Amino acid sequence: MSETQKPDHVRLFIPGPIEVRKEILDEQAKWMIGHRSSDFEALFARVQPKLRQVFYTNSRVYVSTSSGSGLWEAASRNLIRDDRKVLHLVNGAFSERWADVSRVNGKKVDVIEVEWGKAIKPEQLAEQLKKEHYDAVAIVLNETSTGVKNPLEEYVPIIKQYPDTLIMVDAVSIFGGYKIDFDGLGLDVVLTSTQKALALPPGLAFGAVSDKALERAKQVPYRGFYFDFLELEKFVVKNNTPTTPNISLMFATDKQLDYILAEGLENRFARHEQMAQAVRNWAAQNGFEMFPEKGYESPTVGVVANTRNIDFPALNKHLKSYGATINDGYGNLKGKTFRIATMGDVSVAEVEALLKVMSEYLERVPAQA
């Protein structure tokens, strides 16, 4: 887009919701169908195998009309027995909040907590698992508040030494931009929302759930109503949902998954890594450091440490006139960091164009004292 042309909308380079292509937005304007109709069952049956491909699973994928947080509650409620504990790995705002979700659902919670910006190391996990038995370990793969991607693949063999300890993964801000091999790794719950790297509007959450997780749910008496896995299971086998789903967004999901699979999952993941690398290069070339510990930078959320002490709101205001927006730091990191989401259907060239506008702006505007 040229600088003189007035943008028709502001493209979101924030970690959700993100830019959704017009064609996908338009899918939501289709005429309604009843959710107990054969048309809906056909829609669900089209979406389900495509979701399974993106999750790399032959297991079921539940479709929840909620945001991703709903499936946090689902995972905690269905997998943790009353007299047992869950271990939460905490290194940012989202992992902290999931631990709170377990607590407010009456679960007994232990945490391994490290400073924001750091990843939780496999050795720390190994040590804790030697000390205590857990019904599940809760992992936020991609901490959106800090831009840290935790080493899930390295945790798995450690947790697998304890066959009774299930693995639940929040993949919300990375799913669709990074390979998560549900069956290959042997995960028990992986949950995500539509409005992040899947590049759909907000309003649905998807959760892959293992047979082992379902067996566990049978041992938990009070699983609640809305997110009860055993109830969701009764309906998923009939290509349906227990309660009225967001049908419009299901139409959009159907089309978007075709688009994602046509791009090719491996290509899509490689493009995400390239976009993230462009942000890392930009930071280095413009006198900034990345906030995350080296080697653990996210492929979808670039968190840049504001080492040059720029006036972030002024930069973002400038970007808005260009037709894009990025994000300030999360919570306590506001002012200290800023975040550029490189997820969804945007191209490497579009990310590079955005970064160029940022560099040109920063050259004109001197740093603050």
- Residues in contact with ligand PLP by CB under 6 A are 15-16, 67-69, 94, 140, 142, 144, 170, 172-173, 193
In the three-class reduction of DSSP (H, G, I as helix; E, B as strand; rest coil), residue 300 is classed as coil
CB of 142 to ligand PLP, least distance (A): 6
Using CA atoms, how far residue 113 sits from 122, 141, 170, 305, in Å, is 13, 14, 16, 21
CB of 173 to ligand PLP, least distance (A): 3
Q: Which two tokens stand for residue 61?
A: 């994928």
User: What's the DSSP call for residue 270?
Assistant: H
Q: Which is nearer to ligand PLP, 172 or 346 (CB)?
A: 172
| Residue 168 beta carbon to ligand PLP: minimum distance, rounded to whole angstroms | 12
- Specify the residue, 24 or 140, whose C-beta has the smaller distance to ligand PLP: 140
Nearer to ligand PLP, 94 or 134 (CB): 94
- Backbone φ, ψ for residue 144 (5° rounding): -65, -25
Contact between residue 74 and residue 64 where contact means Cβ atoms under 8 Å apart: yes
In the complex with ligand PLP, which residue's Cβ is closer, 84 or 91?
91
Distance in Å, CB of 140 to ligand PLP, minimum: 5
Least gap, CB of 263 to ligand PLP (angstroms) = 22
Shortest separation between residue 96's beta carbon and ligand PLP, angstroms: 11
Q: Check if the beta carbon of residue 180 is closer than 8 Å to that of residue 141.
A: yes
CA–CA separation, 246 vs 249, rounded Å?
A: 6
Residue with Cβ nearer ligand PLP (65 or 274): 65
Would you give the end-to-end CA distance of the chain in angstroms? 33
Kindly give, in sequence order, each residue whose CB lies less than 8 Å from that of residue 181, ignoring residues fewer than 6 positions away.
Answer: 56
Q: Nearer to ligand PLP by C-beta: 96 or 228?
A: 96
Between the CA of residue 120 and those of 103, 112, 204, what are the distances in Å? 21, 8, 29
